Amino acid sequence: AQKVTQAQTEISVVEKEDVTLDCVYETRDTTYYLFWYKQPPSGELVFLIRRNSFDEQNEISGRYSWNFQKSTSSFNFTITASQVVDSAVYFCALSEAQQGGSEKLVFGKGTKLTVNP
Amino acid sequence: ETGVTQTPRHLVMGMTNKKSLKCEQHLGHNAMYWYKQSAKKPLELMFVYNFKEQTENNSVPSRFSPECPNSSHLFLHLHTLQPEDSALYLCASSDVVIGEAFFGQGTRLTVV
């Protein structure tokens, strides 16, 4: 069975600090996809990244970076120089490759990040 | 309008009521989803529709009844709900080729 674990329930940092959100996953599939979503207080999940299991290159997008390590089944997310607007709940998710393309996302419980001024 | 729109944003209903949640996507996607987000549980997939056909029912009780009349609209019909069904219900859509799901803002449902 697929499972996503986000061990950090809540993190609180001061603005401009770097922060890493951990994500560990379990799957028996060789082809799968990993995601990060941000959920601000307004409620909608905002897509941040999708990574397939064959692409282990780390990715950087502005202040965001992701470290995918298949050997440890981890897909960690780092925010550099955090800002108050980064305060949200962040979800890591896993999806197996589906016939027909639709994705069944299995989510972690989320990490609530609070960035204080 | 762009993106995924859900109405209503908030809903309070009694256990004997019948109500419907609506989701509309303006992204040209061909897959749509309902997810449930409860206070103490991870986000749970409820239903998946691919090209208007239901392809997944994740052991959801029959008091939740989805409907997908076309690839842009998705409904969740609710009847005789229980207080434990109170949650945030999120709709999402995706393109079956490109893949990533885009979510609406959700309907906050309270069953009294």
pLDDT in tens, A8-55: 999 999 999 999 999 999 999 888 889 999 999 888 899 999 888 888
CB-neighbour burial class of residue B80 (10 A; exposed 0-12, middle 13-18, buried 19+):
middle
Burial letters A45-68, b for 16+ CB under 10 A, else e: bebbbbbebeeeeeeeeeebbbbb
At B9, phi and psi to the nearest 5? -80, -30
CA of residue B46 relative to chain centroid, distance: 8
- H-type alpha helices, chain B: none
The pLDDT assigned to A114 comes to 97
User: What six digits make up the tokens of B81?
Assistant: 């709900």
CA of residue B8 relative to chain centroid, distance: 12
| Chain B residues close to A91, C-beta within 8 Å | 43
Please state, in angstroms and rounded to a whole number, the distance separating the CA atoms of residues B30 and B50.
6
Question: What are the respective helix, strand and coil percentages of chain A, to the nearest 5?
Answer: 5, 55, 40
CA of residue B99 relative to chain centroid, distance: 18
Q: Tell me the average pLDDT across A62-69.
A: 95
The pLDDT assigned to A2 comes to 87
**Banded model confidence at residue B96, pLDDT cuts 50, 70, 90:** confident
Q: Tell me the average pLDDT across B31-37.
A: 95
Contact check, Cβ <8 Å, A37/B56: no
In percent, how much of chain B has pLDDT > 90?
Answer: 76
The pLDDT assigned to A99 comes to 54
**Higher pLDDT residue, B110 or B53?**
B110
Contact check, Cβ <8 Å, B103/A44: yes
The pLDDT assigned to A97 comes to 67
**Higher pLDDT residue, B55 or B103?**
B103
DSSP state at residue A83? -
Q: Tell me the average pLDDT across B41-67.
A: 90
User: How many beta-carbon contacts under 8 Å exist across A and B?
Assistant: 67
The pLDDT assigned to B93 comes to 94
Q: B13-24 pLDDT, tens per residue?
A: 999 899 999 999
Distances in Å between the Cα of A33 and the Cα atoms of A25, A53, A100, B9, B22 are 11, 6, 15, 30, 28
Computed over every residue of chain B, the mean pLDDT equals 91
| Chain B residues close to A50, C-beta within 8 Å | 99-100
**Banded model confidence at residue B2, pLDDT cuts 50, 70, 90:** low
| Chain A residues close to B90, C-beta within 8 Å | 43-45
